[in-house]
Amino acid sequence: MTNTDDPYLWLEGVTDTDALAWVRERNAETTAALTDGARFAAIEREIREVLDADDRIPYPRRRGEYLYNFWQDAENPRGVWRRTTPESFRTDSPEWEVLLDVDALGAAEGENWVWKGASVLRPDYHLALVELSRGGADATVVREFDLRTREFVTDGFVLPEAKTRIGWIDADHVYVGTDFGEGSLTTSGYARVMKRWRRGTPVEEAEVVFEGKPEDVSAFAYRDHTPGFVRDFVGRSPDFFTSEEFLLKPNGDLVRIEVPDDASTSVHREWLLIHPRTAWTVGDTTYPAGSLLATDFDAFLAGGREIAVVFEPDAHTSLQGWSWTRNHLILTELRDVKTRLEVLTPGEWTRAELPGAPEVGSAHIIDTDPDADDEYFLDSSGYLQPTTLIHGTVGGTAEVVKQAPALFDTDGLTVEQHFATSDDGTKVPYFVVSDGTPGPTLLYGYGGFEVSLTPGYNAAMGRAWLARGGTYVVANIRGGGEYGPDWHRAALRENRMRAYEDFASVARDLVARGVTPPGRLAMQGGSNGGLLAGVMLTRYPELFGAVVCQVPLLDMSRYHVLLAGASWMAEWGDPDDPADWSYLREYSPYHLVQSGREYPPVLFVTSTRDDRVHPGHARKMAARMREQGHAPMYYENIEGGHGAAADNAQRAFMSALAWEFLLRSLS
């Protein structure tokens, strides 16, 4: 149901004059209403101090002999890309070599550049493909950068703004998928055609190595540079959760990796790892959804099916990810949403615990160098435990190399985990961070795309909310990945209401337990969580005293025709299919909101430069509510992309708006 009778379609014109005039009027109203007091200024200052703090951990990425880091602070609002040696990094004051100053570059070129990352060529690490975005959008400009001269390469690999996929083959070739013209993109706006591009030649003349289908989410091509195991892969992603991947042989032949379409794979040296999202039967053996399997890559492609189970989920435990070192495999697991780390040795697949995970918190491997050695960097934190960065070697020693400071007072605060009972009897876990006094409470959730919400230190939240007497709650509802693929699939498509029922059950449980009085419970969500916020606003308004709805999807009749929306139909469904629309309309917030019904105060937040979730969702919802006589607040940052902010000043302002809104609404 692509609704073309919508009276607010004009607000989908992202940069149209009338639409932006409407945005500026709403921004002025919200700014005037929320920023006029001393508390707002204090919150904004406190958050900015957190974001700009010099003693934050500079998270490293190992690339050859250097550790690389991207850093933003008050002096470098758009940031610097820099590097140091491992020895210097371990000191209290590392000596950083600045490679690229994004603020200086933007000033010199008259552009509002935002850093989007860099791909460095292995194994020499002398060249990089730098991606820069105008205002924080997903679409980027690509430029080749020489790490020896610290300058962009004259006549190097350069591409104009697009949602580009690019990666090194060797010093003179890259794989690239971008907007080559008509027919080169999928309906989701991503690369459909992948090419092998040779230095010094026009990209239009590059050799096509693979083509996906127009209705796919995207196509891909990449090289595995592992010495002694160099391989090329191509493939397509028909939807958000499936893929077909092929080994691209030197003669151009394609060899399919014969795994289920919904299984993810990765290759390390001689090993192929397979992570099926649904149960997979091979011969007489059925491997459960969410397991991790290992087999010899070459033997598997030749038809062999000797498969080892290296992880098997249970009712309480799921696999969150894995990382290779040179000789070992590190697994990150969740047991009732608490992290456990294991290290396995290939072949016999012996296993041991990897220390470093907090008792109630989360930990994850942020970097390894699987070409070189068995070292790793491990990041761990909890709701009340500042982040710790550990450097270790599998089978050797581990040491704390960086410790973030405590940035808010935790005296009297505790963390508890409870389980609410959803409408169908499912037990839904949630964490409560509180001083034990019933009072204003913020409930946060996401519940989609198999994304897990795990405990972590949030200094801005601690300063703005906990320090002012608030209670913070995180709900691990279905649709997420906290209990593996089955937890996600339980709220997929026609079962989506289960996620919303889960969240509502947590809200009720908080009141029943006395965590918060009725009317002093707020909720917050962004992106897919913004849809969650819209559903809570329109279907469960009696449960909440305030709602913060950030970069949301709200018009579920048109989400698939706006920007990247078509790529998410595997999650929610196709509005143009009557069977799908029959359940989508049951929770589409834009179609449920009505005059004559009471709704809690709501703040909509989005970004003009969000080219992933269209700002029209939030614009139209606010406009419709205003027409119906409601009084929503609305703020749209002109920059920022899907994160809604492009630098720390914008992040602090946007965050302070939300906290001030919540404090006023629940006072």
Residue in the block written with tokens 């809200």: 507
SS (H, E, C) 420-448: EECCCCCEEEEEEEECCCCCCEEEECCCC
| Nearest in space to 276 (alpha carbons), one of 295, 297, 261 | 261
On the CB side of 105, how many CA atoms lie within 13 Å of its CA?
23
| DSSP letter (8 states) at residue 185 | B
Q: State the pairing for strand pair 165-170/521-526.
A: unpaired
Provide the residue type at 330 as one letter.
I
For residue 518, cis peptide bond before it (omega within 30 degrees of 0): no
Residues 208 and 180 sit within 8 Å (Cβ to Cβ): no
| Nearest in space to 663 (alpha carbons), one of 492, 520, 549 | 520
Residue 638, pLDDT score? 82
Residue 305: alpha-carbon gap to chain centroid: 34
Residues 329 and 344: their CA atoms lie apart, in Å, by 5
Residue 358, pLDDT score? 83
Kindly list the distances between the CA atom of residue 664 and the CA atoms of 463, 507, 510, 530, in Å, as whole numbers in the listed order: 16, 20, 21, 21
Backbone angles phi, psi at 347, to 5 degrees: 100, -85
Residues 344 and 351 sit within 8 Å (Cβ to Cβ): yes
Our answer to whether residue 527 is catalytic in this structure is yes
SS (H, E, C) 612-662: CCCCHHHHHHHHHHHHCCCCCEEEEECCCHHHCCCCHHHHHHHHHHHHHHH
Residue 75: alpha-carbon gap to chain centroid: 27
323, 527, 607, 655: the catalytic one is: 527
What percent of the chain is modeled with pLDDT above 70?
99
Residue in the block written with tokens 């939807």: 239
Helical pair 528-539 and 616-627, crossing angle rounded to 10 deg = 20
CATH architecture of the domain with range 9-49+407-665? 3-Layer(aba) Sandwich (3.40)
**Residue 280, beta-bridge partner list:** 287
Our answer to whether residue 188 is catalytic in this structure is no
On the CB side of 51, how many CA atoms lie within 13 Å of its CA?
28
Residue 644, pLDDT score? 63
Residue 361, pLDDT score? 86
Residues 591 and 601: their CA atoms lie apart, in Å, by 19
3-class state of residue 109 by DSSP: helix
Query: Which residues, given as ranges, of the chain have pLDDT below 70?
Result: 1-4, 640-642, 644-645
Neighbours of 389 (CB within 10 A): 21
Q: Which residues have C-beta within 8 Å of that of residue 557, sequence separation ≥ 6?
A: 1, 2, 3, 575, 581, 584, 585, 588, 590, 591
